[in-house]
Amino acid sequence: MPRAAFIGECMIELRHQAPDLLKMGFAGDVFNAAAYLARSAPGAQVDFVTVTGDDPYSAAMRETWRAHRVGARLARTLPGGRPGLYLIRLDAAGERTFYHYRAESAARRLFAPDQPATVDEAVAACDLVYLSAITLSILTEAARTRLRGVLAAARDRGALVVFDTNYRPAGWPDAAAAAAAIEPVLRLTDIALPTLADDQAVFGDAGAAACVARLRAAGVREIAVKLGAAGCLLAGPEGDPVHVPAVPGVAVVDTTAAGDAFNGGYLAVRLAGGTPAAAALAGHALAAEVIAAPGALLPPLSRD
């Protein structure tokens, strides 16, 4: 049974049902990807590495993880802590704008001095370790240093480190600060699953080919650059990149978590031994389901 650790933050999600009516759920980029990996690879052990509060909303959040087959054994509870939250507004094309309220989020205690060493050791013992630039954005510099040590230890034991740039400007002083935090992690990354627009915003890449070249130079050996409706560009450590088209003709309702779904579907196939091309097709198929429905997460599958 492959073991996967997803490091990040889950938040309260408030989504408009009407101008004055909101529906509550729980989501976050890394958790979304974990849920979609667990959905696509039911034989995998998927654990979420985070910190929550001890309030009723955190308890309900953990129930959502359980429903989506994501484990909580590596998620600490901070007494008196609270989760962050965000609101989503959609335009007529289903594109979303996020409004975050996360300054006091308990997840900001990830890799802080009070995190038990047993958490680091458990993460380093996994077969796959996943994080994003949003993960990095909520951590202190000392916590990022500790995290990089865990990633290096995981790779030394044979784990795959997976990184999604997922740049949100509101989480950073500026793009240069994001680049400074991301670059050392890329040097510890085996599989990069960026969205081109994010990497262009942070690194100024001229296009998908330039993004691939930069990631290869950092030592990344497997790359899938997500291109939205245009699909993705796949690349190994050498050779010409290959374009894999997205599913055509999807009636878009809500693009929230499209990239996270692609990542989960992609990694499920790779953990099962499938090729990157097969993984990309699976990722596109799952993303097509997600963007045809409202919200970040599809309803959980039955456990029967």
Residue 130 CB partners (closer than 8 Å, separation 6+): 4, 5, 6, 7, 30, 33, 34, 161, 162, 163, 164, 263, 267
pLDDT along the chain (304 residues), means of 10: 97 90 94 98 97 97 97 97 90 80 94 97 98 98 98 98 96 97 98 98 98 98 97 97 97 92 98 97 98 92 72
How far is Cα 7 from Cα 20, in angstroms, rounded to an integer? 34
How far is Cα 224 from Cα 189, in angstroms, rounded to an integer? 13
What's the pLDDT at 219?
98
Within-domain flag for 298: no
Report the CATH number that the domain containing residue 50 is assigned in CATH: 3.40.1190.20
What's the pLDDT at 256?
87
Within-domain flag for 296: no
13 closest CA partner among 266, 300, 297: 297
Within-domain flag for 304: no
Within-domain flag for 300: no
**Strand ordering across the sheet containing 222-226:** 75-77, 45-52, 3-7, 128-132, 160-164, 191-192, 222-226, 232-235, 242-244
Question: Are the beta carbons of 52 and 60 closer than 8 angstroms?
Answer: no
What's the pLDDT at 98?
83
Residue 234's DSSP bridge partners are 224, 242
What's the pLDDT at 164?
98
Within-domain flag for 44: yes
Within-domain flag for 153: yes
What's the pLDDT at 303?
67
What's the pLDDT at 304?
54
- Domain span including residue 202: 3-291
Count of structural domains, the chain: 1
Tokens 């529906």 found at:
23
Q: Which amino acid is at 72?
A: A
Q: What is the pTM of this model?
A: 0.95
Within-domain flag for 275: yes
Residue 255 CB partners (closer than 8 Å, separation 6+): 94, 95, 96, 291
Within-domain flag for 166: yes
Write out the catalytic residue numbers. Answer: 260
- Can you read off the two tokens belonging to residue 205? 């890449």
How far is Cα 76 from Cα 29, in angstroms, rounded to an integer? 19
Long-range contacts from 226-234, C-beta under 8 angstroms, 24+ separation: 226/193, 226/194, 226/195, 226/196, 226/259, 226/262, 227/196, 228/195, 228/196, 228/197, 228/258, 231/280, 231/284, 232/262, 232/280, 232/283, 232/284, 233/208, 233/209, 234/276, 234/277, 234/280
